[in-house]
Structure 1
Amino acid sequence: MDVSSKMGLVYLSQDIEELWNEWQIRSLMLLGLLLQIILTILGEQRKYTVGLGDFLWLAYLSSDSVAIFSLGILARSVANTTNPNLIPVFWAPLLLVHIGGPGTISAYSMHELDKLLINHLLQLVTRVGVVGYVLFRLRENAFMLVAIPIFISGMIKYGERIWVFKRNKESNNLSQQPFAKRPCIPSEDLISLTDSSSEVSYLHEAHLLFKTSKMLFQNLDLVNLDQRITYDLVSEKNAEEAFQLTEIELGLKYDRLYSKVATVSWPRFIIRSVTFLSSIFALVSFSIMIKSKSVYSKNDRIISYVLLSGVVCLESYSIIGHLFSDWTMIWLIRLEKTFPNLYTTRCFSLLLSFSRKRKRWSRLMGQHNLISALSKKPVNKLRKKYFPGNWNIHSRVDADKDLKELIFKQVMHKRSRYERLRYERSKNYPDTSDFPVLLKLLEERGCNSLQSKGCFHELGWSVDDAEFSHSLLTWHIATHVCYIDDSRKNGFVNYQNCAMSRSLSNYMLYLLVQCPNMLAIELSGTRYTDTRIHLHRLLFIRNAHKEAENHIPMDKLDALSFPKAQVKAFFYELLQSPSTMLKEIREQEEEKSAQSPSTMLKEIREQEEEKSAQSPSTMVKQIREQEEEKSALLDGCRLAMSLQSSELQDGWPNEKKWEMISEVWVEMLMYAASHSRWKEHADALGRGGELLTHVCILMAHLGLSKQCRPPALSKQLDEYFPGPVVSGNEV
């Protein structure tokens, strides 16, 4: 390379370095504003939109990092430069506004509520100190008039974020407080709204339910007073109305956990007005001063306008969103005594109608089908391990009106059975608690539906004698096989119960695979994996290598996919020759379970080379766990054959079979809801929501929860209520 070329590279590198030094802080400031816009918009949308998790998480983490990095560059530039007008003085307080975050998202996940409070308090001191240092260095700058209101706004927003963390942490520690056993609903809130519109009643009733749900999410028992109120509120509603109440209630819970939008009060109104007027004042002051003193470059003036205008727009968006939130509507409802004519105004009626119809969760159910997954392209191992995402979700379907009616009908039926059993127990054991009756009902996962249809003797083994995950997989396989068989029959109509059974079956398997923590059940082994590998092994041997040995490495089996025609052919043959196919499935299962420990140890080592350094005791434990695993494929096929058998269908319409299957799935859904943990439900609120959460809180409001302990005597409840408290639209 000649001398001229070397000199050209040197000049080029110097130009690049000068360009970077000039634009690094400017580009970071614009990037910070962009991240704030993304968080403001998506922070609200993730309440009712699925699939935003990874992108929003990246923006959430990047926002603070970009702001802190920019603040460090500003502090260094101010300390080293002799020209105090090189960088606009108000850029540093703008970064404090960015660190405070938008109102729509204060926390990304539940663990932040407990772990980040002290961290944010320390960060407040250090970051305010750095901003104060920058302002002190540029104290003689003429544009300090612009910087001061922005600094005040930033302090308020950051302090508001810390207050949200502190409020939620104190709320989570309510179980340690002496008043935890008091009723959650004050007597002054039990006001009559019979003369008000239905929209007013719904918001007020949902807010009353929200107050009791705080005890539920903290794993505290509801007092009898609250149980009576919530039961009267929900039991008088139809399915659509009851689920709408839970939707509004959980929307309020989401706002309380993950955003700064909470109870509206005059102090919060004043604070919001101060931040908004501060941003307006800063923009106007900058516009006036820049005309008389052009101390900044053209690029800096343009960027400053963009940044200040962005702050004003974000503040305006936040205020508008707050004005149209459920919290503002509830606050206005409480002003009835002050403004008695407020309810009759046309504008307020339109706001209430809009608020009631607004989405507060995705209203979607994730779908995962074990058999359909056989035909899908396998997912890369690295993506499974490091980017779990939604690769287990095949699709999402609506939780429609018919499904809600089916669930609500089953929940109310369980509640009526509970009342009847409580009455019978009170006659025989008048001085004992009814809690054992409730626990027994909550343990049902399909047996009552089978008994009501007279099928428990033939099919009870599938729900009573198996671990829950095994029972779930058994019914999932049977549901799909029954659908395959019925689809081939002439005159088969895809009944509404059939469609609901399939969507619930796929939804429950989605929870088992994608959200196992929500089920909160001690799952023995890996039933799902064992069942999938069992089916893979059968299809591989039958269709690809009939002469191959059965001991195929599991990693190879897991990476296989099969054409839909081969998968259908397998189950068609099962339906045509059930005894032959069931025997083959049983032999394949027994052959796998009969593998010697040495063979299984070798297979584990081949599959997981990265775990080769494990101790012998750990490896032996793995072997024992695998020996205890059991595929649900055989039981699922047996159950399908029983459901499709002529003995079971003799004089029994096909539609009635699907009605029973749908009821079994609703019972399994209720069983999962009654055994789930509230912390997992709170996490699910930030992912678009889950149907399981709505079923869980609906059951709790109707007294079907372990946190709804009944009194020993029914008369004890009447001591709190001399008469009815809530009826119809009364609150």
Structure 2
Amino acid sequence: MRLAFTRDILEKWNIQFFVIASLLFQMILLFLAPLRKWVNNGFMYLVIWGVYLLASFFSTFALSLIYNHAQAQEVMNKFEFINFTRRTTYPLWAPFLLVHLGGPHTITALAMEDNNLWHRHLLTQVVQVLSVLIVFYKYRIFQSEWLLPTAIVFLVGIAKCVERIFSLHLASSNFVRKSIRLQDSPPPPAAAAAADDNINSLDEYEIIRRGYEFYQTFKGFIIDHTFIHDECGTMKEWFSKLSEKDAFKVMEAELNFMYQAMFTKMIAVQYLEKNFFWCIWWFGSHALLVTVAVIFFNQPNKHRYLGHVDIGVTYCLLGGAILIEAIALIHLIFGHWTIFKIMNSGCYKNNKVVKNTILPLINCGMKLISQKKSWSGKVIQYSLVKHSLTGQRWKWAEPKLELFSLKELIDSLLHTQTAEVGDRLKKLVVDNIKRKAADDINNNNSQDVMAIILPLFKDHTDDDYATFVLTLHVATDICYFATEKREGDDEEEEEEEDAKLCIQISHYLAYFLVLEGKITSALPGSIGMRFRDVCWKQVRHTFDHLYSTFNAAATRTGRIWCWKRTSRQKACEDLLSDEYCEVMISTRYENSVLPKAVEVARKMKRRCSADPEAGKQKEFWKGLSEVWVGLLVYASSHCRGDIYYLNKGGQFCTFVRLLMAHFGLQDSLKGERSFNLHNQIHSSG
């Protein structure tokens, strides 16, 4: 029974099935695509990717089925002398498929590469338009009673395709670079002229306006680090007056405009600020589709020669197209771009109705239809120690997985988590960058950090950045989980917060060095390499060293090491024992940093355990957190390609790097500054 039903769908109703599937996937894509902005989840991105590809597949395949049906009808006409082509709605469905191929307004590109390949998309869309014209010819549309509604929908479909291609072109790296070159000097934000404004009056409208102005100034820098203009740093004084919360809100608004410009149709609609053609066209296309629906509804003879299924499918296509256009209009009206246009117009200050009624109404509607979050607000976490405790390894499968570049992907799915970016981390980052901008390296805090931290690393001052971070990552894990936690008053809670912050940054930077696959390095000596390729030997040898150390000791003691059964606390405590030191010496790896990490961890633990009542442990974790923040800032200034994560929930390093640009740290952002531990601790203090 089920098999017969399936065969009936695929043979008798195949055109109807694929046309409805095309509409269904357009609707799914319409609502799923915005999730890319704030969902930092690989599985969800995979789902959106699949829906994106299937939406184009169903539309193209349905169009080919309609063409094949026309071919079959021509054969029947020759032998039966009956013109069946006039008695079908298939030629009316073809331009609807063209509308679907134009895509919804919430997504034009899945990745930055799609924008750069806009020529290929243009050629594809031209072929698809020609395919629809051939269908019209085959069905002799000029002799059909559906000529007028078909022509109207075809016009809307053409406009949708032009919108998409124009959006891809405007968001391509070459066009952005060219547009910046044509500007002798990007207009500085209005905030520069209003530096004396009261910072306390920075409401949500003002945040949107400043975000748009900064987006216009720094959009070239976000895509390509080489575009650092003289305007970089003109807002340093204004930005320095902001709290860390307001500073990040402004940058969130800035990157939100960037996301919409890179991956949605909003850039095409808003391209010419004084030309409202596309805005008017969105209203016009909605009206045209409503007109087609009225024409079809009032067609008196459609029930005579059209089946109920074909009529239902046509109504679904009309209703779906009208709904998609209505949602696009709602997002256009109740959006950040509209708020900026109103605030930038003369009527905002002169008309109280606009300021007190229309603008709050638009803002209220925007809150109802969109998420408050502009990015995931999370950082990815990875721990070498925890990964090495996961039990049995399938060494026979690892070469095969590496051959197909699947090992890092599987490790990323199985051994990473996410952690919320808290206000404490934001404050430390802002304070660190402010000190760099002020060139204040002789403050008392810097001297305190030097006295606490530098003695621990006196034997590792010549290490390069990647080796030092990897060593400190393992040492911080061992020290944190092997140190006895104390519960008490607010000071102990603050101490624990600093310790957790060290772990959070440590795991975030470890993810870059071990598993990150897109972001490239600008570290001296490894420019252009992926971060995970910078120190791959040290990473592999350290991981193998940890794994073999645990298993060698487990064999001698009869233990079964698995993170689900044995806590990291027990494993880290044992790593500092004499028994494990013997095992590590007997299983030495040439490029492993584990012996150095254990040595540093022992010094760190002794520092923490020395007179805990005197606050030494609190001072230590506070100083170490400052060092980790400095390492994070250094990595952020030397990373390239983080724009690729703008549509994958965002990366915290993007905010750090953008904040450095706002404070005018051009020299640090050029990637020419080599890593020096003394200077790093100075600037972290």
- Counterpart-to-counterpart distance in 1, 2:262 and 2:414: 27
Note closer, same or farther for the CA distance 1:172–1:392 as it changes in structure 2 (3 Å cut). Answer: farther
Aligned to 1:259: 264
Aligned to 1:114: 116
- Counterpart-to-counterpart distance in 1, 2:351 and 2:664: 36
Note closer, same or farther for the CA distance 1:187–1:348 as it changes in structure 2 (3 Å cut). Answer: closer
**1:198 matched to 2:203:** yes
Note closer, same or farther for the CA distance 1:152–1:351 as it changes in structure 2 (3 Å cut). Answer: same
- Counterpart-to-counterpart distance in 2, 1:358 and 1:280: 32
Q: 2:382 aligns with which of 343, 363, 368?
A: 368
Further displaced range: 404-413 or 291-300: 291-300
Query: Partner of 1:107: helix, strand, or coil?
Result: coil
**1:92 matched to 2:94:** yes
Aligned to 1:234: 239
Q: 2:144 aligns with which of 133, 141, 144?
A: 141
What's the CA shift string for 1:473-532, capped at 9, x where partnerless? 222222222222334567665622122112212222222233254251431333222211
- Counterpart-to-counterpart distance in 2, 1:312 and 1:248: 30
Query: Partner of 1:365: helix, strand, or coil?
Result: strand
Query: Partner of 2:172: helix, strand, or coil?
Result: helix
- After the TM superposition, which residues 260-659 of structure 1 pair with which residues of structure 2 at under 5 Å, given as runs? 260-262=265-267, 263=270, 265-289=275-299, 293-337=303-347, 340-349=351-360, 351-352=362-363, 358-376=372-390, 385-386=405-406, 388=409, 390-417=412-439, 451-462=449-460, 464-487=461-484, 493=493, 495-518=496-519, 520=521, 521=523, 522=526, 523-544=534-555, 561=562, 564-565=565-566, 568-575=569-576, 577=577, 581-589=580-588, 592-593=589-590, 630-646=591-607, 649=610, 651-659=614-622
Asked whether the equivalents of residues 367 and 506 of structure 1 are also in contact (C-alpha less than 8 Å), the reply is yes
> Aligned letter for 2:207?
Y
> Aligned letter for 1:163?
F
> Aligned letter for 1:25?
I
**1:222 matched to 2:185:** no
- Counterpart-to-counterpart distance in 2, 1:460 and 1:271: 67
Identity %: 21
- Counterpart-to-counterpart distance in 2, 1:15 and 1:237: 65
Asked whether the equivalents of residues 37 and 647 of structure 2 are also in contact (C-alpha less than 8 Å), the reply is yes
Further displaced range: 371-380 or 56-65: 371-380
Note closer, same or farther for the CA distance 1:376–1:153 as it changes in structure 2 (3 Å cut). Answer: farther
Asked whether the equivalents of residues 116 and 173 of structure 2 are also in contact (C-alpha less than 8 Å), the reply is no
- Counterpart-to-counterpart distance in 2, 1:658 and 1:647: 8
Query: Partner of 2:37: helix, strand, or coil?
Result: coil
Note closer, same or farther for the CA distance 1:281–1:194 as it changes in structure 2 (3 Å cut). Answer: farther
Note closer, same or farther for the CA distance 1:122–1:571 as it changes in structure 2 (3 Å cut). Answer: closer
- Counterpart-to-counterpart distance in 1, 2:538 and 2:17: 52
> Aligned letter for 2:12?
E
Further displaced range: 144-153 or 565-574: 565-574
Note closer, same or farther for the CA distance 1:542–1:229 as it changes in structure 2 (3 Å cut). Answer: same
Asked whether the equivalents of residues 437 and 665 of structure 2 are also in contact (C-alpha less than 8 Å), the reply is yes
> Aligned letter for 1:249?
E
Aligned to 2:16: 26
Asked whether the equivalents of residues 478 and 598 of structure 2 are also in contact (C-alpha less than 8 Å), the reply is yes
- Counterpart-to-counterpart distance in 1, 2:302 and 2:503: 71
Q: Give ranges in structure 2 of 5+ residues lacking alignment.
A: 78-83, 527-533, 671-685
Note closer, same or farther for the CA distance 1:480–1:290 as it changes in structure 2 (3 Å cut). Answer: farther
Give the TM-score of the pair, scaled to structure 1.
0.77
Note closer, same or farther for the CA distance 1:669–1:646 as it changes in structure 2 (3 Å cut). Answer: closer
Note closer, same or farther for the CA distance 1:133–1:172 as it changes in structure 2 (3 Å cut). Answer: closer
Query: Partner of 1:89: helix, strand, or coil?
Result: helix
Further displaced range: 54-63 or 515-524: 515-524
Aligned to 1:610: none
> Aligned letter for 1:134?
V
Aligned to 2:682: none
Asked whether the equivalents of residues 153 and 274 of structure 1 are also in contact (C-alpha less than 8 Å), the reply is no
Note closer, same or farther for the CA distance 1:367–1:274 as it changes in structure 2 (3 Å cut). Answer: same
CA-CA distance at 1:562 after TM superposition: 5.4
Query: Partner of 1:396: helix, strand, or coil?
Result: strand
Note closer, same or farther for the CA distance 1:488–1:50 as it changes in structure 2 (3 Å cut). Answer: closer
> Aligned letter for 2:22?
G
Q: 1:249 aligns with which of 233, 251, 254?
A: 254
Give the TM-score of the pair, scaled to structure 2.
0.82
Query: Partner of 2:483: helix, strand, or coil?
Result: helix
> Aligned letter for 2:628?
W
Aligned to 1:36: 26
Structure with greater contact order relative to length (CA < 8 Å, sep ≥ 6): 1
Asked whether the equivalents of residues 219 and 707 of structure 1 are also in contact (C-alpha less than 8 Å), the reply is no
Asked whether the equivalents of residues 519 and 673 of structure 1 are also in contact (C-alpha less than 8 Å), the reply is no
CA-CA distance at 1:684 after TM superposition: 0.6
> Considering only aligned residues, what root-mean-square deviation do their CA atoms show, in Å?
3.4
- Counterpart-to-counterpart distance in 1, 2:632 and 2:99: 45
Further displaced range: 316-325 or 252-261: 316-325
> Aligned letter for 2:419?
V
**1:78 matched to 2:35:** no
